[in-house]
Amino acid sequence: MLHLNLVTALLGRTELFGSLSKADLQDIAGQMREVACEPGQAIFARGDPGDYIYLVAEGRVRLSVLSVDGRALSYNHASLGKVFGDIATLDGGARTADATALTRVRMVTLSRARLMRLIETKPAVARAAIDLLCGRLRTTSEQLEAIALHSIEGRLARYLLSAARNPSSPRAEAGRVRINLGMSQTELALLLGASRQRVNAALKELQKLGAIDQVKARIECDVSELQRIADRGAASLGGPRKTKAARERKG
């Protein structure tokens, strides 16, 4: 069983409940039900009723939709401390995506009825729900723009920058951050809207340019170089020009 204090702490870090008092958070935590899933297990499918929101306490969940030819198109992952399943739970409609456990997952759920009572009685939760949904829309717009306008190298650089800016990512030397992707290249490719082969080539290109050093799933990122590549957008990374980091690596 997950400890009540752990669930309370995780709730306090979420966008949806972070503004509430510790007493309120403990009360919500006491109303939540624990759920466990094994790798590959479906949590819910697109079209299912939105009866619950989920908070991840352990593991990683893929959020995806199916293309017309039956391929899974992954658009996000939910890991420790992340809430998912909120859209359908908030508006009472059907699930807009599939949720699948990528690893063994432990979660807690809150029913729609209890969430609606919180929104009605706690204005801060209502405001947070609006902010959360607006954030989802902005993220979706940015993902569509990135796929339409940016090279795979640029999309990969943006993703690595987001991971590097996570406060939990350990710092290496000045300007460099170590991250652990926690997923296969195939899964990363699904998130970036590309094939595994193209993602593998993009990782090698970023390493050649001095933006990353890769050792298995662990990557050491040069934040400034990743930012430069991300800012170039749809521009080609090819050609004779080399980055400062790449020239220094040549010695």
Domain boundaries 4-147, corresponding CATH code: 2.60.120.10
Nearest to 110, CA basis, from 55, 149, 175? 55
Residue 174: pLDDT band (50, 70, 90) is low
3-10 average pLDDT score: 94
Copy the structure tokens of residue 175.
């300007």
Coarse DSSP helix, strand, coil percentages of the chain, rounded to the nearest 5 percent? 45, 25, 30
Which residue matches tokens 């309370």? 8
- The whole-model pTM stands at 0.72
> Do the beta carbons of residue 177 and residue 223 sit within 8 Å?
yes
Residue 250: pLDDT band (50, 70, 90) is very low
The percentage of residues in the chain with a pLDDT greater than 90, rounded to a whole number, is 57
The percentage of residues in the chain with a pLDDT greater than 70, rounded to a whole number, is 85
Copy the structure tokens of residue 74.
């992954």
Query: Where do the structural domains in the chain lie, given as residue ranges?
Result: 4-147, 150-250
> Do the beta carbons of residue 125 and residue 82 sit within 8 Å?
no
Tell me what pLDDT residue 37 has: 97
Cα–Cα distance between 128 and 12 in angstroms, integer?
A: 12
193-198 average pLDDT score: 88
Beta strand 176-180 with 218-222: parallel, antiparallel or unpaired? antiparallel
Copy the structure tokens of residue 133.
């949904």
The architecture of the domain spanning 150-250 is Orthogonal Bundle (1.10)
Cα–Cα distance between 187 and 32 in angstroms, integer?
A: 30
